[in-house]
Structure 1
Amino acid sequence: MAKETPLLPVEDAREMALFFVVGALCFLAALATLSAKSTYGAARSWTAEVEGELTVSLPDADRRGAEEARQLIEATEGVREARLLSKQEIDALLEPNFGSRGLPESLPLPQLIAVTAEPDTQFMGPTLERRLTEAGYAHAVDEHADWAGDVRRMLAIARLVALTAVALLASTAVAVIAFATHAALLARRDIVDVLHLAGARDRYIAGLFERRFWLLGLRAGAVGALLALGAAAAMIFGVHSSGARSGLLPVLSLDIVDLLILVLTPVIAGLAARIAARVTVIRSLKSVM
């Protein structure tokens, strides 16, 4: 039995450019989504660590006076722990800015007390300020939650920017596919006319293009997802091999959610290509009827 000849050519050199564009857009969209998810996770982890943390600075106190202030703070209701930092710990905090040598010995440093409040304790900063003032200590209370609020605001903006970027990339892919579908329809106008004469309906003709671009979207999306997986793996390897501290920088981990994003990328690309092809063909055929 002779093999059935497809109505549309199996290979089309003009679709290779479309394959490249859709694959690149899928790569960028998947990488942007992974980065946004990782940034959100890193910021949430950091803000969870600093919630309820305070630092009390005593510029005029000696070691003995700082210890008495520490005991006063630890006795305050709502305080879980108060720890007086040693000279070595203070030097470690200053090392990123002043190097391993630290500050000169002649330069006086304030005594620092790291305070951890009980969960859901409110107004701990003003409470400690009032108690230290009543005890006659010159002090400065830095509540880390203030910094966490700034991080949360920046996180919301970063998440909005990332989602906007993903939406723009997806819209660009759909527009490119719609344009390519329309061009393919015009290039095969003779085949479409013959099908119309043979009694084929618009839905049948649209289905031919649907399947064509559905498979193209799946393949291009799969290539883009694999490239995003490779880029994420390279970044993970680079961070782990250097041993550098990441701080608030996003650290890709390729957990279940990350892998789900990569798996869904070609499916979404295929569906977007299929819908774009169907809508474009139906509208084009109706406009010439």
Structure 2
Amino acid sequence: MNEIMQRLDIAREALFELADRWRKRQGQTPIVPQGNVAGTALIIVIAIMTFLACLTLGGVSLVRDSAATWQSQISKEATIQIRPVEGQDMEALLAQASKIAQGFAGVTSTRIIDRAATARLLEPWLGTGLDIDELPVPRLVVVSIDEAAPPDFETLRAELVRSVPGASFDDHRTWVDRLVSMARTTVLIGMSVLVLVIAATVLTVIFATRGAMAGNDHIIEVLHFIGAEAKFVAREFERHFFRTALKGALCGGGAAVLVFLLVSWWSSRNLATPEADQAAALFGNFAIGRDGYFGVAIIILLVSVLTMLTTRLTVITQLKEMDNRGSESI
């Protein structure tokens, strides 16, 4: 009896394979219709979701790279600030502070910010034509730090406060900690948004698959109950939805890449304007780099594969429910 059943199974599989080949040669309509309205809408939805996911990934990449650049730049320098003290020569105090800092191991160089440079720093708030000597404006000494072997900041700070009246020392560690925290928070928020977008895409594919199965319910039931395996039906659906998702993902990813290229081009063309200078200070030149474009390609592939797997699982689940309904009716 078992041998007879095995032969029947082999014969049934052979018949289905022959029927599938004949259907392809004859160009008959597949189980899932091509180019219908629902399929076009799904392509648009997947394109939008992929576009948003790529923008999110690119934005996170920009902020992360910019934060790393800020952190590197800040950690390379420290600042000595000297407030005006009555009866003291400011230039002499600046020179004394610079000499003390140069005496510490880990300090590569020092640079005194002169009157003209200090006035330029204050121009955005106080305007031009400032007389620094008439205002109680602190003066600065920029200290360059060896990142591999930084100096003892606490000892340097204590020596400056003790030896130079009105001096204070800022090693920028507070700013570095804030930048690291901000970068981590931004990456976490961006990845959360990315997960939500992908989850919404998966749910959309589930509803689209169920809708396609409902529209072809009579064909699927006939195929399934005469012996068509779930894998055969699922393969038809997953092929269709993989192609659909790939089209949408390519459109959405291509649009995101175009946006990044346009913004980068605008930034490079407007480097001399104040708006571009501020934007470049925050986000660089808006170029996501090779890793960013590689991430876009990964998202396109990920959306397509997830769509295919989601479709397969949805079809198999629906067919199991169909089997349960059939057994209950018996």
TM-score (norm: length of structure 1) = 0.93
Matched letter for residue 44 of structure 1: A
Report the CA distance between 1:95 and its aligned residue.
Answer: 3.1
Q: Which residue of 2 aligns with 1:46?
A: 70
Matched, 1:37 2:88: no
Distance 1:107 1:185, change over 3 A: same
Specify whether residues 288 and 6 from structure 1 end up closer, same or farther in structure 2 by C-alpha distance, changes over 3 A only. Answer: closer
- CA contact under 8 A between 2:57 and 2:194: conserved in structure 1? yes
Give ranges in structure 2 of 5+ residues lacking alignment. Answer: 1-24, 324-330
TM-score using structure 2 length: 0.82
After superposition, the C-alpha distances for 1:218-246 in whole angstroms (9 at most, x for unaligned) are 00000001100111111112211221222
Cα pair 1:63 1:111 within 8 Å, conserved: no
Q: RMSD value over aligned CA atoms?
A: 1.9
Identify the match of residue 131 of structure 1 among 138, 159, 165.
159
* Equivalent of residue 222 in structure 1, options 239, 242, 250: 250
Larger helix share, 1 or 2: 2
Q: Report the Cα offset of residue 120 of structure 1.
A: 3.7
**2:234 equivalent to 1:206:** yes
Whole-Å Cα distance in 2 between the matches of residues 7 and 185 of structure 1?
A: 9
What SS does the corresponding residue of 1:248 show, helix, strand or coil? helix
CA contact (8 A) 2:268 2:285 kept: no
Query: CA deviation digits over 1:60-111, x for unaligned, max 9?
Result: 2421232122112212232211111111221232234334445775213222
Partner residue in 1 for 2:46: 22
CA distance in 1, matches of 2:67, 2:107: 25
Does residue 56 in structure 1 map to residue 56 in structure 2?
no
1:267 is aligned to 301
Q: Identify if the C-alpha distance between structure 1 residues 238 and 103 changes in structure 2 by more than 3 Å, giving closer, same or farther.
A: farther
Partner of 1:90: 118
Which residue does 2:5 correspond to in 1?
none
1:152 aligns with 2:180: yes
1:180/1:44 CA distance change after superposition, 3 Å: same
Q: Supply the distance in 2 between the matched residues of 1:182 and 1:269 (Cα, whole angstroms).
A: 18
* 1:257 counterpart = 2:281: no
Distance 2:223 2:285 in 1: 54
Q: Is the 8 A contact 2:104 2:151 kept in 1?
A: no
Deviation at residue 172 of structure 1 after TM alignment: 0.5
Distance 1:250 1:27, change over 3 A: farther
Instruction: Quote the residue 2:37 is aligned against.
Output: 13
Distance 2:27 2:319 in 1: 29
- After superposition, the C-alpha distances for 1:15-42 in whole angstroms (9 at most, x for unaligned) are 2221111110000001110111111011
Unaligned runs of 5+ in 1: none
2: distance between equivalents of 1:242 and 1:99? 24
Q: CA deviation digits over 1:235-264, x for unaligned, max 9?
A: 112211221222223643242212212222
Which has more radius of gyration?
2
Q: CA deviation at 1:9?
A: 1.7
Alignment equivalent of 2:212, drawn from 179, 184, 195:
184
CA distance in 2, matches of 1:193, 1:226: 39
Is contact 2:96–2:164 with CA below 8 Å preserved after alignment? no
Check whether the contact 2:106–2:151 (CA below 8 A) recurs between aligned residues: no
| Distance 1:186-1:33 versus aligned 2 partners, 3 A rule | same
User: Alpha carbons of 1:136 and 1:105: their partners in 2 closer, same or farther (altered >3 Å)?
Assistant: closer
